Homo-oligomer: A and B are copies of this chain.
Amino acid sequence: MTGSRKKSVLIIGGGAVGAIAALNLEVGGLTSVTLVLRSNFNAVNEHGFDIKSCDHGRVNSWKPSIVRNSIPDIAKESLPPYDYIVLCTKNIPGIPPTVVDLVTPALPKANSHTTLVLLQNGLHIYTPFLETHPQTLVLSGISMIGSEEISPGQIIQNEGDRLIIGAFPNPNIDSPTSAALEFVSIYQNGGKTDCKLGEDVLHDRWRKLVYNACLNPICAILGLDTGRLRLAADGEVIEKLVRPAMQEIVDAARANGVVLDEDVVQKMIDVDPLQSYLSPSMLADVKKGNLIEYENLLGGPLREGRKAGVKMPTIEMLYYMAKGIQWRTMEARGMVDIPPQNV
């Protein structure tokens, strides 16, 4: 313990991303983490996480300070407000609960104490909070981590936890950047990760979509991991599908005032090492029978690009294919009905 009080951090969602964030924050020593789990609660509560991490090495039977299976209702439970709430769940519009519903019970009324960190994908995911929690500072967290939960509580992190933190725009907040900087400093206090301040949230979010709207859904649709995608059809899947899709995202970003580096397409194609066989989030979700975040990863940039007059035929096709795959998963989960066979 240092002289100053530890920061209290509530992390909602302890899958492949949230668990590493929890581990890294507690390793840093400046925070006390409460982690809210859902599907893996029983496994983690009983045995802790087993983590094999390129940043942290092997960590067995590990738990953060507090593990819970429900979101704290701080009023009902008479809990002090958290300093930070980090949201690491999937963000799937149209499927309740909304992100606002999730976070609200853990925020003080008329909050100005707790800073919210959205460690989630998508362009404008902060806008619902502007209406419901106008005084709450919302930070953007963009993670380029390569991490997968192979079974409940078993996590393999193959690629370093590179995190870009920035402040979403909010006219009611005076100096959002200082809060963002504080979070960066506590996140990187352990010296294991590459966490930095991003000056331009929208730029950083479009940049990540170059990967997430293209390589990620194509892996999911074709059932190929990152290494296999690069090998498939002697590279033609990359050249004829991934590269054109990425270029459409670059074009849509530019039409929205965001100029990405010229080499961003090639960099994103090469970002996963050859001979590393990783499942990007959508492929991992499809394999596990989970819903995919196609609205935020494909629908968002498609709509922004279209509004700005950009043609995005590849992204549009990926969007509707992802919709078809989502529907297949929804049937498997009993969320849609199929009329009986009529032979």
Identify the A interface with B (CB < 8 A). 54, 158, 218, 221-224, 227-229, 231-233, 236-237, 240-241, 273-277, 313-314, 316-317, 320-321, 323-328, 331, 336, 338-343
The complex places the Cα of A343 from the Cα of B317 at a distance, in Å, of 33
Q: Chain B nearest CB: distance from A94 CB in Å?
A: 12
Give the residues in chain B near A323, CB-CB below 8 Å: 232-233, 236-237
Q: Which residues of B contact A236 (CB under 8 A)?
A: 320, 323
Establish whether residues B325 and A222, one from each chain, have CB atoms under 8 Å apart when the complex forms: yes
Q: Which residues of B contact A273 (CB under 8 A)?
A: 342
Enumerate 8 A-B pairs (CB-CB under 8 Å) in ascending A order.
Answer: A224-B324, A224-B328, A233-B320, A233-B323, A240-B316, A241-B320, A275-B342, A277-B341
Q: In the complex, which of the residues B237, B325, B331, B341 contacts A324, with contact meaning CB atoms closer than 8 Å?
A: B237
Assembly CA distance A289 to B320 (angstroms): 25
A316 to B245, CA, bound (A): 13
A327 to B158, CA, bound (A): 25
Whole-angstrom distance between the alpha carbons of A218 and B237 in the complex? Answer: 17
Q: A276 to chain B: which residues have CB within 8 Å?
A: 341-343
Q: For the complex formed, measure the closest distance between the CB of A67 and the CB atoms of chain B, giving whole angstroms.
A: 28
List of B residues within 8 angstroms of A313 by Cβ: 313-314, 317
| B223 and A341 contact, CB distance less than 8 A | no
Q: How far is the CA of A327 from the CA of B230 in the complex (A)?
A: 11
Distance, CA A313 to CA B277, complexed state (A): 29
B222 touches A331 (CB 8 A): no
User: Do B233 and A326 touch (CB < 8 A)?
Assistant: yes
Contacts of A227 in B (CB 8 A): 338-339, 341
